[in-house]
Structure formats: structure tokens, C-alpha cells
Amino acid sequence: MNRLAGKVALVTGAGRGIGAAIARAFAREGAAVVLAELDGETAERTANEIAATVDGARVLAVPTDVTQPASVERAVKTAEDRFGALGVLVNNAGINVFCDPLTMTDADWRRCFAVDLDGVWHGCRAALPGMVERGAGSIINIASTHSFKIIPGCFPYPVAKHGVIGLTRALGIEYAPRNVRVNAIAPGYIETNLTREWWDNQPDPAAARQATLDLQPMKRIGQPEEVAMTAVFLASDEATFINASCITVDGGRSALYHD
Ligand code: NDP
């Protein structure tokens, strides 16, 4: 408890899934949290749920589209007007865009990059000036094991997620002298709408889910809370010398050569 006391955090895509779990864990650890979510109703519902279940939670829902720089800037400003200087930013919003490279439309390519890479940059761009000026900040970008492994048929998502690691490393080095840390988390399979929708779109959803489980060294997939606690660590003063790094949260799957 209170590992993030006194900190102000903004989490993008915090209405559900991993982002909601991060917002909840941050609030539990004493941070004031802005849920910057595309769908205002989802954001409000999750913020209300956190306020009702976490003692003394300070949360605010701000409808935000990470593809729009002005929208993200507004969210950062709202967070600072309400709670004070932003110390932690989690760029979590992301979408799956899985296509065949040669039949993919330009619109699919743009849709993927607009959220999965541009969105991360927009968050960094909005938060960095204040963090750099104050000489303090922790930015956490939610990457993926697709940031360093490829599954055929998932193009161009891994291209954007590789970019998230590049962005993390570049900005981490750029602003290290100003004590602003930029790190990534690479989740493997985590139980959220994103994974459930993927299974549901397969010809045999139950078999697809079982096939995923069979691939896991721990014979289960991860829970959003398991990613959230890694974010708590990176956001906290327990991680003050961790910078330009990526922590993989995948139960060991990406270390496995083959079954
Ligand atoms: P979900 O689809 O459950 O949640 C994603 C959230 O992002 C939703 O609340 C969604 O809002 C929001 N969002 C989408 N587009 C935008 C946007 N333009 N602006 C603001 N918010 C937006 O996904 P997960 O929780 O599973 O994924 C979270 C992150 O984790 C993503 O970056 C994903 O790539 C990454 N990841 C997930 C893995 C998994 O197995 N689940 C594995 C590896 C990485 P709305 O509901 O309104 O669309």
C-alpha cells in the first residue's frame, strides 16, 4: 500500500482490460489517477468502480483519443489542473490490427499506427515538457511480446509494437539526464477483451483458447493485474535506476524455443 503516495498518474485506454487494472492498482497504491479513455462512458464507469472500491481513491475520467495530439494534451492539462504535476504516464491504449501484408489496406496500416505507435508518441510528447522541466517522471509504454517475436498473420501490429520499444529506448536515453525514466512492459497473452475477441473470431473459439493455453509454459494465460503490478513497480521509487528497459510479463513463453 502507498507505494505511489503523492504521485499523479495518467493511464490511456484505462476503461477496461490492462489499462483499467493499472488505474485500479495505482489508486490502491495511493496515486491520483486520470483515466484517459476513448469511450467516455466506459471511463466514467471504471472510475466510479475504483472510487467505490478503493478507500480514499482520487480518480478522474477524461474522454481522450490518443490518435489526436490535442486530445492527449487536454487530458494532461486536465490531470494537472485537478491533481497537480503529472509524475507518471502509462501509454496503454492499443488495438489489434491483424492482416495479410499484401491484401491489407492503407487504412488498416494507418489505423494500427495511429493508435499503437503515434498514440504512444502523443502521450510522451504531451507529458515530457513538464516532467523534463521538473526533473522527475516515469513513462511506461505498454508494448507486447509482438515487440520482439513474430506470429504470421498478425501484420502490421508487431511492426508498430517494435516501434514502441524503439521509442521507449530513444526517449529513455534522451531524457535520462533530466531524471525522466521511460520504460516498456511487454505482456504475453493476457485475459482481456482483446484476446477474447481474437479467440471468438476463430472458427472454433474453444479450441483456439485451448491451443493458446497449451502453448504456455505455465499452462495459463496472464491476468491484467499481473501486468498492473509491474507498472506499479516501474512507476514507483523502487525502480529509480530502471530506464530505457522492457520488462516481459508472459509466464516465460517468449523464452521457450519450442514445445
Ligand atoms: P482492451 O481492448 O481490453 O483495452 C484497450 C483499451 O484501449 C480500451 O479501453 C479502448 O477503448 C482503448 N482505446 C482504443 N483506442 C483508443 C484511442 N484511440 N484512444 C484512447 N483509448 C483507446 O485491450 P488490452 O487491455 O488487452 O490491451 C491494452 C494494451 O496492452 C494494448 O496496448 C495492447 O496492445 C497491449 N497488449 C495486450 C495483450 C493481451 O494479451 N491482452 C498482450 C500484449 C500487449 P474502447 O473500449 O473505447 O475502444
Please state the three-class secondary structure of the chain as a single string.
CCCCCCCEEEEECCCCHHHHHHHHHHHHCCCEEEEEECCHHHHHHHHHHHHHHCCCCEEEEEECCCCCHHHHHHHHHHHHHHHCCCCEEEECCCCCCEECCCCCCHHHHHHHHHHHHHHHHHHHHHHHHHHHHHCCEEEEEECCHHHCCCCCCCEEHHHHHHHHHHHHHHHHHHHHHHCEEEEEEEECCECCHHHHHHHHCCCCHHHHHHHHHHCCCCCCCECHHHHHHHHHHHHCCCCCCCCCCEEEECCCHHHCCCC
> Phi first, then psi: what are they for 54, rounded to 5°?
-110, 120
- Considering only CA atoms, which residue is closest to atom 10 of ligand 1? 13
In this prediction, residue 66 carries a pLDDT of 99
Q: Is 144 in the pocket of ligand 1 (CB under 6 A)?
A: yes
Question: Domain coordinates of the chain in residue numbers?
Answer: 8-191+223-251
In this prediction, residue 232 carries a pLDDT of 99
Q: Is 257 considered catalytic here?
A: no
Q: Domain 8-191+223-251: which topology?
A: Rossmann fold (3.40.50)
- Considering only CA atoms, which residue is closest to atom 31 of ligand 1? 94
Q: Which of 37, 115, 120, 149 to mutate to test the pocket of ligand 1 (most atoms within 8 A of CB)?
A: 37
Q: Is 190 in the pocket of ligand 1 (CB under 6 A)?
A: yes
Mean pLDDT of 142-165: 97
Nearest-CA neighbor of 221 among 193, 246, 187?
Answer: 187
Q: What is the pLDDT of residues 168-207, one digit of tens each?
A: 999 999 999 999 999 999 999 999 999 999 999 999 999 9
Q: What is the pLDDT of residues 71-124, one digit of tens each?
A: 999 999 999 999 999 999 999 999 999 999 999 999 999 999 999 999 999 999
Q: Is 117 in the pocket of ligand 1 (CB under 6 A)?
A: no
In this prediction, residue 62 carries a pLDDT of 98
Q: Which of 120, 168, 194 to mutate to test the pocket of ligand 1 (most atoms within 8 A of CB)?
A: 194
Q: What is the mean pLDDT of the chain?
A: 97
In this prediction, residue 259 carries a pLDDT of 74
- Considering only CA atoms, which residue is closest to atom 39 of ligand 1? 190
Ligand 1 geometric centre to CA of 196 (Å): 12
- Region of residue 54 (left: phi > 0; alpha: psi -120 to 50; beta: else): beta
Q: What is the rounded CA–CA span in Å between residue 23 and residue 46?
A: 9
Nearest-CA neighbor of 147 among 63, 246, 234, 69?
Answer: 246
Ligand 1 geometric centre to CA of 142 (Å): 9
Indicate which atom in ligand 1 lies nearest the CA of residue 115.
Answer: 18
Ligand 1 geometric centre to CA of 115 (Å): 9
**What residue type is 12 in one-letter code?**
T
Ligand 1 geometric centre to CA of 37 (Å): 10
Mean pLDDT of 125-138: 98
Ligand 1 geometric centre to CA of 177 (Å): 31
Residue 231 has pLDDT above 80, yes or no: yes
**What residue type is 85 in one-letter code?**
A
Q: Is 12 in the pocket of ligand 1 (CB under 6 A)?
A: yes
Q: Is 91 in the pocket of ligand 1 (CB under 6 A)?
A: no
Q: Is 38 in the pocket of ligand 1 (CB under 6 A)?
A: yes
